[in-house]
Copies of this chain bind each other. A is one copy, B any other.
Amino acid sequence: MNYCGECGKSVTKKIPQGDNLPRFVCDSCQVVHYHNPKIVAGCIAEWNGRILLCRRAIEPKSGLWTYPAGFMEIGEGTEEAARRETFEEARAKVRITRLHSVLSLPHIGQVYLTFIGELLAEEFAAGEESLDARLFEKADIPWQDLAFPVIKDALRRYIEDIRRGEFGVHVADLPGRLS
């Protein structure tokens, strides 16, 4: 950040009075510009024991697989965001059944809220930002071709939950070095 979005003058990174972290502060109007973590809302959508994954058509990680997930928008709730992303990326309608995990990525300022959903019908297709959308048996999940470490982590926890028959909400931080 170089300029103030309010008045267009230059900004300086410094610790505002009463604060304890450096922020971008306008040299002219003194507005403090905060940057906070973003929420990525996602959905592992089930259909008769299989789950819906889509293959990314856009960077980063174009060509690799993920469950539908994307940045939550102002004006929507968390479940609504997960349903919207599932429709945008995999043209599928889901009923959200439960929250699966809250996974923080401190190094990039993201928090993944992943829900479990149930497809309303066996209807899906690649959305505009996807190359493909498919239902995978759990044994066939393309572990080596998943787009992001957090997607792999959430899917591993999902599979392990089913194996153990335990379905609590996972809260964890994923370090930057996770591969």
Contacts known (A39-B39, A71-B36); A106 close to B76, Cβ less than 8 A: yes
Tell me if A113 and B106 are in contact (CB < 8 A). no
Chain A 19-57 residues near chain B, CB threshold 8 A: 21, 24, 33-39
- Interface size class on chain A is 35 or more
Given contacts A6-B3, A77-B104, A102-B113, contact A37 B72 (CB under 8 A): yes
Within 8 A of B (CB), among A57-79: 71-79
In angstroms, Cα B71 to Cα A20, docked, is 13
Indicate which residue in B18, B36, B77 contacts A74 across the interface (CB closer than 8 Å): B36
Interface residues of A, Cβ cutoff 8 Å to B:
1-11, 18, 21, 24, 33-39, 71-80, 99, 102, 104, 106-107, 109, 111, 113, 128, 169, 171-173
Identify 8 new A-B residue pairs, CB closer than 8 A, beyond the known A78-B171, A80-B106, A169-B169.
Answer: A1-B6, A8-B8, A18-B128, A36-B74, A74-B106, A77-B104, A78-B102, A79-B171
